[in-house]
């Protein structure tokens, strides 16, 4: 199964975006509007985590800044670094500005997003970061570039993982082509 828990980037993206569509439909009829808006925000934070390969705390910080400012490209302080470092996080276009205005007054916390991800999707949000890394590896992105994007301090982890995934895929192609 590996470090990405077998979660595929494209399937995770479709799952989260389809849930967002469902929530938007429910918002039209719901009595629990504030709760559904909160869920919508959680899904957007998970989407940022998935599409940027960032930690949940970084996605949360980027989302909160986006809610206040509307900026879609943000330099966010990297968590888990001894030295102060920043990384680019881009808010996906699938998060519309009009939704930003609906949920800008709500407060979002990391633990609540993690609990929501576990309950709604059965996964740890960090799995989405790994799914992003796996997808870049499948696209044959240089591991040094992957490390730069995700702000991994140790390239050897990404090298070991992407090599293993690539080797497994090549073996499957060979065996399945017979």
Annotated active-site positions, please?
A: 55, 80, 126, 129, 152, 161
Orientation of helix 9-29 relative to helix 110-121, angle to 10°:
100
Q: 88 is written with which tokens?
A: 């680019």
At 55 the three-state DSSP class reads: coil
Find the Cα–Cα–Cα–Cα dihedral 140, 144, 145, 151, rounded to 10°: 130
107 class by beta-carbon count within 10 Å (0-12 exposed, 13-18 middle, 19+ buried): exposed
The Cα 59–Cα 57 span in angstroms is 5
> Left (φ > 0), alpha (ψ -120 to 50) or beta: where does 48 sit?
alpha
């Amino acid at each position: 199964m590996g470090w990405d828990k077998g979660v595929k980037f494209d399937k995770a993206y479709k799952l989260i975006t389809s849930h967002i569509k469902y929530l938007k439909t429910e918002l039209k009829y719901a009595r629990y509007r504030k709760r559904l808006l909160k869920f919508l925000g959680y899904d957007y934070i998970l989407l940022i985590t998935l599409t940027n390969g960032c930690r949940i705390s970084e996605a949360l910080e980027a989302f909160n800044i986006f809610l206040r400012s509307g900026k879609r490209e943000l330099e966010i302080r990297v968590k888990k670094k001894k030295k102060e470092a920043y990384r680019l996080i881009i808010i996906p276009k699938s998060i519309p500005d009009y939704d930003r205005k609906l949920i800008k007054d709500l407060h979002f916390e990391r633990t609540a997003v993690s609990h929501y991800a576990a309950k709604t999707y059965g996964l740890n949000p960090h799995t989405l970061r790994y799914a992003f890394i796996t997808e870049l590896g499948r696209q044959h992105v240089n591991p040094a570039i992957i490390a730069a994007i995700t702000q991994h301090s140790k390239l050897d982890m990404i090298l070991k993982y992407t090599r293993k995934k690539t080797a497994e895929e090549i073996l499957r192609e060979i065996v399945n082509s017979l």
